[in-house]
Chains A and B, each alone.
Chain A
């Protein structure tokens, strides 16, 4: 069946450290987005990235659609980066997103 996997499931970092989050998906995709869910539950769009590489400040993302994975890079992490990071994928045959299980990030001061 359709699968979206994320790794690692949990990550604890010291403030200032860098990290890489991975998303693997089982089928070809139309769209891929990365979200940050903050402690208040809001889903914040980070990147819309069905392919290629994008950067936004300390964050960047790369999607290699042919190899069915995407990476989210966080550099110089801050405590406000804490929360759950979701990868969500829209497969070729449907409109809705299938979310991965998320990576829970804790950044310690």
Chain B
């Protein structure tokens, strides 16, 4: 069966420090991969998605970047964190569009101090 791993679960980082969040998927190949951010008490905002290795689409301008170095690995990064980058970050994967649901990781709670 397919599983998705996301780590770390929580992270406290100072302003100006770099960031690297990792997401890996097991049990499937060629997944579509996504990074979302959820502000407190709000819905999810799509940040990046990828349909293949090295293919990244950005949905909103921001201080973050994403990379997909391997088929089942998706990384969210920042060179210098801002206070406004704090939030709950979720990774998910899905299969064929329009027919399947999304499978989410457990999320990373990022606090920038």
Decide if A and B are genuine partners.
no
Interface residues of B (CB under 8 A from A): none
